[in-house]
Amino acid sequence: MYQLNFELPHREALDHSNFFVSPSNANAVTHIKRFSEENGTSCVLTGPAGAGKTHLVHMWARRTNGQILKARGLRTDDVPRLARGSIAVEDVPEISRDQPVLAALFHLFNQLQASGHNLLLTGRGTAFHWNLSLPDLQSRINAAQSISLGPPDDALLAAILAKLFLDRQLAPKPDVIPFLLTRMERSYEAAQKIVAKVDAAALSQQRTVTRGFVRQFFPSTNTEE
């Protein structure tokens, strides 16, 4: 029995209790906490998609009462208001060739330094490779503190899968995550994709998330016991 499958929104948990600390991200967590206690400084948080950058940004914002906005949403007219407190600007590489937005970010950078508030910037890859078309801004970013999130270790990847299932209100059987860990690509993005596939299939087929059910997403394992 199948049913129509609508793309329903899911709630992502972004508080401190939902962030799993492991050896692969412990250093980043420590640096974010330290940065939240400083004044008038800038910091760059980098890492691959799904690594937890947004989660850490929200943790930082709660500690500092800071604001969060996407880089593409920044406008020069908003800078004086934004510069009244600490702020995080996400996905900076996406504006690498957008001169008006880059100019607004450069202006915000200067005003925050002058007012003694903090600026947290995020993006994929290393900041040196963002290649922003405003050299003065790229230079300032290169000189900022840098925090990097690396690839997930086993414990972290298991926790990420568990959190992604929880965000979608799915309750996989205990042997599902160990099964996925031995077969999926070991990346944050792969974890997001496999959980999304399982969610869609479980909803349309009205199935419980068991090891046998998720086996369909790994055809080469279908003949295994």
Q: What is the pLDDT of residues 66-81, one digit of tens each?
A: 999 999 999 999 999 9
Q: What is the pLDDT of residues 121-157, one digit of tens each?
A: 999 989 999 999 999 999 999 999 999 988 888 888 9
Task: Specify the pTM.
Answer: 0.75
Q: What is the pLDDT of residue 18?
A: 63
SS3 of the chain: helix, strand, coil, percent, to 5: 50, 10, 40
Q: What is the pLDDT of residues 8-21, one digit of tens each?
A: 344 444 444 567 78
- Strands, sheet with 145-148, edge to edge from the N-terminal-most edge strand: 67-70, 87-90, 119-123, 42-46, 145-148
Cβ proximity of 45 and 120 under 8 Å: yes
CA 29 vs CA 32, 46, 60, 117, 165: distances in Å: 5, 12, 10, 20, 23
Q: Give, for all 225 residues of the chain, the pLDDT tens digit.
A: 333 333 334 444 444 456 778 888 888 889 999 998 888 899 999 998 878 899 899 999 999 999 999 999 999 999 999 999 999 999 999 999 999 999 999 999 999 999 999 999 999 989 999 999 999 999 999 999 999 988 888 888 998 899 899 999 999 999 999 999 999 998 888 999 999 999 999 999 999 999 999 999 998 755 444
